Structure 1
Amino acid sequence: MILQNEIWLITLLGLAAVTLGFIFVIAQAGKPTDSNRVQNTANAIRRWWFLALVVFGIGVTWATLKPFPIPDQHTPLKAAQVVNVVAHQWAWQLSRNQLEAGVPVEFRVTSADVNHGFAIYAPDERIVIQTQAMPGFTNKLLYTFRQPGTYRIRCLEYCGLEHHAMMAELEVVAAARGDQS
């Protein structure tokens, strides 16, 4: 099993153990010590509220993790366009710098020297996607550019004296007429 997946599994098992602990404590605290009907009713209401919160929490967790934005890093992403990115102090090396809009792009991002922050800025200067560029590890990003234009790549992590000048550009062009559906 992959280390990252093992850590996720250990974390989820730990959260489950803590939740079971809370359920046990609440169940024990709800046991009546006398026959006071009001106290029993209050304990029953607390248990139902706790159960409702647990179910709600599981639902929210599932709903937010289902569309998880980070693709699986250990399988091919099957994108029609692939850009290999290598960060160097203080430049980006791209395997290609012209892409088609509307076609998924897989970015394979790594570093040749130190950690860098890989960010793609849209023509309106907002960040559209970002990841870390780390020596000895390749992060994969999957992104589909919707609008043609010039997109800038900048470093988001201070990497030395010329960090501010570490930029590159991607030209995103409209898809060829035969490719549109």
Structure 2
Amino acid sequence: MISTVYAISLAGMAFIAAVFIFVIKNSKEVEADYPSVIQKWYGVRGKWFIFLAILGITVTFLSTSPYPIADQEKTYEDNEHQVVKVGAHQWYWTMVPNTVESGKPVAFYVTGEDVNHGFGVYDDNLTLVAQTQAMPGYTNKLIHTFDKPGKYKILCLEYCGLAHHAMITELTVN
């Protein structure tokens, strides 16, 4: 997935660069009343373009390289991961089991039983650790490894009705 994001980002930047270069090259063919002023600003515009291109590549690399999503396609042996089945209902969660071990991958199989919900796992500081969608008729697989033991809150991230704010449960990590 990360390589796809890189490829799409680079292709988009290459396209934008090609458009800029085309405009810059074709704009020099127009005669103007102030050639000395225009010549000076062509140089500024070229340097501005190079600056923006470097900035775009840097921001793209820095924002996609620490991509926090674990490889969801990786297959595990039966003894290598823990399975937690999660059902999202208006306005409660069913989770079997609700206790897992730290340091071992956990595969959450998340589905919505009625409407769309957002499955969010938060640590004790209420920092989002992992998340996926819970949709009716579809099961999302979310793989996450908990580094430290504790109680993690499960909250709904998508408004699902009047008691959405009360849709909270806990996962215990030993």
TM category, shorter: 0.7 to 0.9
15-24 vs 57-66, greater mean Cα deviation = 15-24
Confirm or deny that 1:107 pairs with 2:108: yes
Distance 2:156 2:98 in 1: 17
**CA RMSD between the two structures:** 3.4
Stretches of structure 2 that go unaligned for 5 or more consecutive residues are none
1:109-128 Cα offsets, whole Å, 9 max, x none, are: 22121011212222233433
What code does the residue aligned with 1:82 have? Answer: V
* Number of the residue aligned with 1:57: 56
What code does the residue aligned with 2:95 have? Answer: L
SS at match of 2:148: coil
Distance 2:51 2:9 in 1: 23
* Number of the residue aligned with 2:173: 172
What code does the residue aligned with 1:146 have? Answer: D
What code does the residue aligned with 1:45 have? Answer: V
What code does the residue aligned with 1:122 have? Answer: D
83-92 vs 33-42, greater mean Cα deviation = 33-42
Count of aligned positions = 167
What code does the residue aligned with 1:102 have? Answer: G
* Number of the residue aligned with 1:177: none
SS at match of 1:120: strand
Confirm or deny that 1:98 pairs with 2:96: no
Distance 1:22 1:160 in 2: 48
In structure 2, relative to structure 1, the CA distance for the partners of 1:54 and 1:30 (3 Å cut) is: farther
* Number of the residue aligned with 1:23: 21
Confirm or deny that 1:66 pairs with 2:65: yes
Q: Confirm or deny: 8 A CA contact 1:77 1:142 kept in the other structure.
A: no
Query: Identity over aligned residues, as a percent?
Result: 48
C-alpha deviation, 1:50, in angstroms: 0.3
C-alpha deviation, 1:49, in angstroms: 2.6
Which structure 2 residues correspond to residues 1-181 of structure 1 after superposition, within 5 A?
Answer: 16-31=14-29, 33=31, 36=35, 39-71=38-70, 75-76=73-74, 78=76, 80-173=81-174
What code does the residue aligned with 2:60 have? Answer: T
In structure 2, relative to structure 1, the CA distance for the partners of 1:15 and 1:85 (3 Å cut) is: farther
What code does the residue aligned with 1:163 have? Answer: H
Q: Confirm or deny: 8 A CA contact 1:30 1:44 kept in the other structure.
A: no
What code does the residue aligned with 2:138 have? Answer: F
Q: Confirm or deny: 8 A CA contact 2:122 2:129 kept in the other structure.
A: yes
1:122-172 Cα offsets, whole Å, 9 max, x none, are: 223343333321123333333332221111212232323443432222111
10-19 vs 152-161, greater mean Cα deviation = 10-19
Q: Confirm or deny: 8 A CA contact 2:116 2:158 kept in the other structure.
A: yes
